[in-house]
Amino acid sequence: MKPDNESQKPDCVFCGKPLYIPVLNNIYRNGMVWNVSECAECQIAMINPFPSDKKIASLYSTGNYRTDGGTRFVFFIEYLIFLGNLLERMRIEKYAQIGKVLDVGCGRGLFLDIMRRGGWHVAGSELNKETASYAENVYGLKVYTGNIAEHFLAPESFQVINIRGVLEHLKEPDAMLSEAHRLLKKGGLLVILVPDIRSFEFKLGRENWFHLDLPYHLFQFTEEGLIRLLKKKGFKLRRIKRFHLEYSLFGWLQTLLNLSKIRFNLFYDLLKSGNLRGEKMEPINFVGIIATLFLLPVYLPMSLLFSALEAVLFRRGGIIQVYASKE
């Protein structure tokens, strides 16, 4: 439980000022204790101690973000992910003409495959070499491994850059946005999806919030902080989406289950595929599984109601998706 002191960052990486606002303290995850503190000026929070490169690499070698033979979840969840990516292509095409798209953190390549089917020229970047190889070998995609900036791509190469569910994982999100601005054509579209730590979902769940995901999420964004950062980087806001069927509904559902003192993220682990589920389910928690099945008919409609009300009435969301164009 000792902190990883190899690479501590007590100051804000965006402005260099001390992180004065405590958000969460002494949260035990992955064998260590973590804190989350917010910068009053930037309105973005970050994890402390900040994990070293070695620790980050070990986190992604197993667990939540690894695939099992190309899949992460059971069949019907994989199908919902497919539909979600298809809908995302339709939303993007409202703001951008078909051209070249870069998916940062492309994972298995599912989104890029759907974009290519729609006539887009596609490329991806992925930190994990094994996952990148899967996308290349199975889907025949062009995937840059490691940091995209290290590949020195030509400026203004893309009509669209997609960074959904990725920015909060990166050691240097500020540098990533600068690189995205360089790589986008003038008027090109940037799509970002991140959790919002000022959402009611977080305020209720706190350390039980599903989207907190420590220590994988190095940063915790707010809507205000993200918009401020995008404007600083030269982007113009086009749209903010605060309800996302794939993320909002499940975020509320798993958070409510976590608050019920059932084993942390048990339902999420049950939905994983094959060996990934087996890794998380030893020993099998029969009591937790029965409790989850009992509570699902109650919590599922509650989750739909809460996520819709939060987005419509209070203009907040556990997940926010931003569409912005390069000025």
pTM listed for this prediction = 0.91
CA distance 70 to 52: 28
Which letter, b or e, does each residue of 64-97 get, where b requires 16 or more Cβ atoms within 10 Å of its Cβ?
ebebeebbbbeeebeeebeebbeebbeebbebbe
Q: How much is the pLDDT for 3? A: 47
Instruction: Give per-residue pLDDT as tens, 239-257.
Output: 999 998 789 999 999 999 9
Topology of 83-198+212-243 in CATH?
Rossmann fold (3.40.50)
* pLDDT exceeds 80 at position 45: yes
Residues in the chain: 327
What's the sign of the alpha-carbon dihedral 213, 218, 223, 227?
Answer: negative
Q: Where are the domains of the chain?
A: 5-55, 83-198+212-243
Confidence of residue 67 (pLDDT cuts 50, 70, 90): low
CA distance 74 to 313: 34
- Judge contact between 159 and 189, C-beta under 8 A: yes
Confidence of residue 73 (pLDDT cuts 50, 70, 90): confident
Instruction: Give per-residue pLDDT as tens, 220-245.
Output: 999 999 999 999 999 999 999 999 87
The rounded mean pLDDT for the chain is 90
Mean pLDDT throughout 126-144?
90
Instruction: Give per-residue pLDDT as tens, 260-314.
Output: 999 999 999 999 876 555 555 556 678 999 999 999 999 999 999 999 999 999 9
Q: CA-CA distances (angstroms) from residue 295 to 144, 255, 289, 307?
A: 43, 12, 10, 18
Helices 129-139 and 110-117, packing angle to 10 deg: 30
CA distance 321 to 115: 18
